[in-house]
Structure 1
Amino acid sequence: MTAPLEPAPSIWGTRYVWVTVGAVALIFLAAVQALAVTTVMPIVSDDLDGDTLYAVAFAGTLATSVIGMVAVGAWSDRSGPKAPLYAAVALFLVGLVIAGLAPTMPILVVGRLIQGLGTGGQTVALYVVVARVYPAQVHGRVFAAFSAAWVVPSLIGPFLAGAVTEYLHWRWVFLGVAALTLVAFTLIALRLHATALHTDEPQEGRVGPRLACAVAVAIGALALSLAGELGSWSVLVVAASVLIIGFAARPLLPPGTLLSGRGLPSVVLMRGLIAGALFGAEIYVPYLLIAEYDFSPTWAGVALTAAALTWAAASAVQGRVGDRIGNARITLIGTALLFTSLTVAGAVAWGHLHTAALIVGWALAGAGMGLMYPRLTVLTLAYSTPQNQGFNSAALSISDAVGAAAAIAVMGLVFTALTATDAGFVAVFAIAGVLALLALVPGLRLGHAHEVAPQGRDR
């Protein structure tokens, strides 16, 4: 007879509370930044006469985040995630300040590139912190808390960013987040100072080749996003960029990822596909509302708010009963919600339907991602050991960033090519819908590691 398992500890208990608070605070600020910038970027690009760099401002940040992910993943496996986390937050701050003070769109893009280094590194470092600090049976709850950290930003972030832009200036969207990050980082550094996060068996090996691959991936993604500016050379640049990204990304991912190998490779591949589908299309939702429906910046983020709320709610459900639902059902439900949302968004753009349909439809995307996103993170840690937690966490985030960056770049090229017609927004949502359907292939090959249900049941 098997002895009953002890109840899972609370992530808000005395032992874990300050680490939880610190990690959630960083996620909170990243959420504020992401939602705010997505909302106001149409105004920023118009003010700085940078419409041609609109997609690059997003894709570039994701591209350089790959470098931060690889560097921090290797650094964390060698000496623990504490110092890498601090360095990543510092880069995040510098990037925000440069973007906030940028006199031209190219300089703003430079700030976004630096910001990407910090954002990518911060994500990986936090994943390793979770793996080193918390027992496996509460990982789902920790990542549910991370998703819940988007609730307040989703309620006030887009609206506040629009209001700041409309009544003050868009620069304060960047500089305000930078000031808040500085305050939060001071508190977090003090709380993590006395926490041991190293492993007794650090990973050894050469980091240089992996960093070179990360740089190549970033260059390929940037070249892809800029291909539309190269005229007759654009087709050649697109083909070369895709080849560079594919070959350079392989050493950064688990073997078999691009072929959807069962288990961890499919977990990583699915993350990239759903990230490309959602984040590639998401930046065009406020753009559609502002350009076609004359929404003010203050109200253009309403759709993002609805999706963020449903994301957090679905993530909480996954954190509680994800093991009971099962990975296959989560895949089917999540991709169905995401595809339906993208179909509705395309129909709104094509038929000029009421904006309520877009807002409600986009909320379905948030629900689907809330089910799938944290579940994939839980599975990644479940497939990992202390020696490769940094590598696997970085691989998951790299797939996330590369998928989103490549999708944004391709969608940007298509959107720019169709600017003179009414089909630009429709094409963007159609491309995203195809990516959502493709996610079913790895999604049904996730398998099961030694993930443990939050309620303590053994599978």
Structure 2
Amino acid sequence: MTETRRAGPLFLAVGIVALEFAAAVTGFVASTLLPVVAADLDAKNSLGLLIAGSTLGLFVALPLASRVLGRLGPRGTLAAGMIAYLGGLFLAAVSQTAWMFALGQFSAGLASGLLAVFGVSSAIRHLDDRLRIRVIAASSAMWILPALVGPAATLGLEHLVGWRWTLVLPVPFVLFGRLLVVRAARGEPPTDEVPRPLLRTLSVPLGAACVVFSMGRWPIALAGAAITVVGMIAILPAGTARLRPGTPAALGAMVLFAIGYFGADSLITVLLTSVFQVSLGQAAIVLSAAPLGWAVTSLVATKFTSARFPAVGLGLTALGTAVVAFGGSFPVALVAWTVAGIGVGLAYPGLYIRATTADSNGFSAAELATAVITAECVGQLLGRAVGGALSSSGTGLLASYALFAAALVAAAIAARPSR
């Protein structure tokens, strides 16, 4: 009995890390295959539709996750999620139109959102802070190998068997991770958490749809971002918008971090090639520098934990983001974006632990899991939408990067230990 209790957290930890590796593989496979899929489905003018499905599915899943967990329980949620994931992936793989592909991706994204909430909430319930921070660092490291070999391996496999079979490449990794999580969650009772109002929380996917389908029309994108913020506030714990000390402040810092870092990351190749006339190959090298710096630093930072790491790390990321925008050359951009990634690696594990630890406010595990995923994903969406809108409005990329750096400075302030 004792060995079983000890093995449970270990299976859960390994399962979560395996799922992060699967997410990395899925991301690189999808990004690499996008031009091939667009050409085969005659959807070169509908790229937004091809990439919208998984994003919208994820945002629909977030407000529904606690309801599904309460009704089906952990085992039922995992079973339903896996059926939806495999069914959606199969539908996308056999699709003959862009809409059919998008529907399959929507189902897979919906399942991924449900399973992500379950995985994070299980980690909050069953893993102590020391083990969780190591899981976070190991999960960050899972992006190193896919980042280095994923695009080339995907293109090679696509050449051998076609994009449809290549699209199912992540399935074994997802199944392996889910089986471990199922085993760890065996016997866990259903949650009795009272879910938040459904209509208000569904404004998140509604706003996300406006952003995704704005097709370069920045007023629609900004309106969608505003609607998304309203839904985000409805989902996140009370006090997050005011950066109330404790868990709410950490979640607010997570939103600001995601706006600044992921917004800058989404536009960095455009900035370097169009403003500073750097070659696309050099821009790709700069692009990969921050994720690698993030992953390696996370592994080291977990061995030297400090309450100051989140604020210091986010300050470094803000500095690196500002220097990238105004440095003006490839070497400066490479060093600056590497420093930005190192800052994230220093900050992210500690900030994530704060954002997912129930304090005196008494937040439930499922609520915290939904909140941290919402904070990071909505922050990414807002950063990319607002940055793209500013850039396309004629204000310029430099103004976008000034906004990103300011968001990161605000995140550093919110992440101070006094919070």
Q: Structure 1 length as normaliser, TM-score?
A: 0.75
Aligned to 1:216: 203
Aligned to 1:334: 313
What residue ranges of structure 1 are gaps of 5+ in the alignment?
Answer: 1-12, 448-459
Q: Deviations over 1:314-339 (max 9, x none)?
A: 222332222xx21xx22332122212
1:404-419 to 2 correspondences below 5 Å: 404-418=380-394
> More deviation in 244-253 or 287-296?
287-296
Q: Secondary structure of the residue that 2:414 maps to in structure 1?
A: helix
Q: Distance in 2 between matches of 1:103 and 1:286?
A: 32
Shift of 1:275: 1.2
Contact kept, 8 Å, 1:59 with 1:408, in 2: the verdict is no
- From 285, 295, 304, give the equivalent of 1:321: 304
1:19-98 to 2 correspondences below 5 Å: 19-38=12-31, 50=44, 53=47, 61-76=54-69, 80-97=73-90
> Cα RMSD between the aligned structures?
3.7
Contact kept, 8 Å, 1:27 with 1:149, in 2: the verdict is yes
Q: 1:215 to 1:389 in 2, by over 3 A?
A: same
What residue ranges of structure 2 are gaps of 5+ in the alignment?
Answer: 1-5
Q: Distance in 1 between matches of 2:272 and 2:152?
A: 14
Q: Distance in 2 between matches of 1:96 and 1:287?
A: 31
Contact kept, 8 Å, 2:140 with 2:294, in 1: the verdict is yes
Q: Distance in 2 between matches of 1:446 and 1:53?
A: 45
Q: 1:344 to 1:243 in 2, by over 3 A?
A: closer
Shift of 1:265: 0.9
Q: Distance in 1 between matches of 2:322 and 2:131?
A: 35
Correspondence 1:365 to 2:340: yes
Q: Deviations over 1:355-393 (max 9, x none)?
A: x44343322232222222222221233226997100111
Aligned to 2:266: 283
Shift of 1:90: 4.4
Which amino acid in structure 1 is aligned with residue 170 of structure 2?
A: L
Contact kept, 8 Å, 1:77 with 1:391, in 2: the verdict is no
Q: Distance in 1 between matches of 2:86 and 2:270?
A: 26
Q: Distance in 1 between matches of 2:9 and 2:146?
A: 24
Aligned to 1:455: none
Which amino acid in structure 1 is aligned with residue 143 of structure 2?
A: W
Q: 1:397 to 1:109 in 2, by over 3 A?
A: same
Aligned to 1:388: 364
Aligned to 1:437: 409
Contact kept, 8 Å, 2:222 with 2:386, in 1: the verdict is no
Shift of 1:396: 1.1
Aligned to 1:178: 168
Contact kept, 8 Å, 1:280 with 1:404, in 2: the verdict is yes
Q: 1:278 to 1:32 in 2, by over 3 A?
A: farther
Contact kept, 8 Å, 1:59 with 1:409, in 2: the verdict is no
Aligned to 1:345: 324
> More deviation in 304-313 or 72-81?
72-81
